[in-house]
């Protein structure tokens, strides 16, 4: 059974059909359909100057004062937190800067009982998302009419409703950081759900900082000399084969990023590779590159002591720093029996990765 968030105001529920539908609740359930996305075009992305809002909080004598009165639970000692008792929609610019620093330090933060869904799409994008960077328009997914900056997530009982889900594999997990093939990949990212299964459909997160820290110093030093090609070609080809609505709005790109990057606010080093978009290490033979990348992919996937699992409840908003984490949807539910998963992601871009 799907758990639906009932909105206190008639704010739009965003769909892939090119329109925006207003939430309709009947006996606590929302009437909706998911469907194909319109053919759209988006221009190539241009470079831009990014200043992380978390930098402003570094000199704040009380950088976590925005959490005053809240209950904060650390999900692990070094990675992940859960917060209740504050409203993200009420934060001023100082509070948002403190929030950006907090998320950079903790990697991923789960906020409960938020009125985020009661805000308009314009507020969600312009007053919230753009605070943290230039809003990214995904090159290969549908979009609601008039709001191309929302990346919609949807999985129902229809085949291929989620692009990374392969029913021929033993597991649906695909550890990745979002759109790392862009020249300036995302930073602080926001995800919220309109509907979620009553059980299952969690999101797993892993610390790329701690994944780096666990490696031996000599191996760390070598990895810091390497760069990796990240590619969006396979994702675009997947869409062209009729998946994800068959949408390719912007031609795919490849970019080279350092294998280890440094966070511009915390100064921490983190691995910057993921199996979904990393393709090869520059300057190495194929066998050498594959051996190192596969070792790192296994290390990331099996690092249970530096992973957390975020469980979705109504009115939950999850924020993570895409520069120092990887994540995976956990497809441990049957949409035909347990209900569908439907939400939206706001994905501000950040700086070009550097060490």
Note the pLDDT tens digit of each residue in 174-183. 999 999 999 9
Q: Which residues contact 221 (CB under 8 A, 6 or more apart)?
A: none
Residue 61 reports pLDDT greater than 90? yes
For residue 25, the model assigns a pLDDT of: 32
Q: Residue 52: what are its φ and ψ, rounded to 5°?
A: -70, 130
Q: Report which of 284, 164, 277, 291 is spatially closest to residue 229, judged by C-alpha positions.
A: 277
What's this model's pTM, rounded to 2 decimal places? 0.89
Q: Which residues contact 73 (CB under 8 A, 6 or more apart)?
A: 81, 82, 83
Catalogue all structural domains in the chain, each as residue range(s) with its CATH number. 62-158+168-349 (3.60.130.10)
pLDDT tens track for 324-341:
999 998 876 666 666 677
For residue 338, the model assigns a pLDDT of: 65
pLDDT tens track for 74-86:
999 999 999 999 9
CA distance 48 to 335: 40
CA distance 75 to 318: 13
Where does residue 244 fall: left (phi above 0), alpha (psi -120 to 50 degrees), or beta otherwise?
left
Q: Who has greater pLDDT, 263 or 21? A: 263
| Integer angstrom CA distances of residue 294 from 209, 211, 274, 275, 299 | 18, 14, 10, 8, 8
């Amino acid at each position: 059974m799907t758990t639906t968030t009932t909105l206190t105001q008639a704010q739009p529920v965003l769909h892939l059909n090119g329109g925006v539908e207003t939430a309709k609740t009947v006996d606590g359930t929302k009437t909706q359909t998911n469907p194909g996305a319109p053919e759209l075009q988006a221009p190539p992305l241009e470079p831009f100057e990014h200043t992380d809002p978390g930098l402003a909080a570094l000199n704040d004598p009380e950088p976590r004062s925005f959490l005053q009165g809240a209950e904060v639970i650390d999900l692990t000692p070094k990675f992940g937190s859960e917060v209740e008792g504050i409203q993200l929609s009420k934060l001023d610019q100082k509070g948002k800067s403190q929030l950006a620093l907090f998320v950079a330090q903790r990697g991923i933060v789960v906020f409960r009982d938020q009125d985020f869904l009661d805000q308009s799409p314009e507020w969600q994008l312009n007053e919230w998302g753009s605070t943290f960077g230039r809003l990214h328009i995904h090159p290969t997914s549908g979009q609601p009419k008039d709001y191309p900056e929302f990346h919609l997530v949807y999985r129902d009982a229809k085949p291929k409703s989620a692009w990374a889900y392969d029913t021929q594999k033993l597991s649906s997990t695909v550890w990745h950081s979002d759109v790392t093939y862009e020249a300036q990949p995302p930073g602080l990212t926001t995800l919220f759900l309109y509907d979620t299964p009553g059980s299952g459909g969690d999101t797993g997160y892993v610390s790329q900082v701690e994944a780096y820290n666990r490696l031996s110093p000599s191996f760390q030093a070598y990895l810091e000399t390497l760069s990796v090609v990240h590619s969006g070609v396979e994702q675009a080809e997947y869409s062209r084969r009729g998946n994800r609505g068959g949408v390719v709005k912007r031609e795919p790109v490849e970019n080279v990023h350092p294998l280890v990057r440094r966070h511009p606010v915390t100064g921490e080093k983190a691995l910057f590779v993921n199996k979904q978009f990393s393709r090869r290490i520059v300057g190495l033979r194929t066998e050498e590159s594959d051996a190192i990348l596969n070792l790192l992919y296994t290390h990331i996937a099996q690092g249970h002591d530096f992973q957390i699992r975020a469980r979705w409840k109504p009115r939950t908003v999850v924020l993570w720093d895409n520069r120092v984490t990887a994540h995976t949807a956990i497809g441990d539910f049957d949409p035909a029996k347990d209900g569908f998963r439907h939400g939206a992601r706001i994905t501000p871009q950040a700086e070009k990765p550097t060490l």
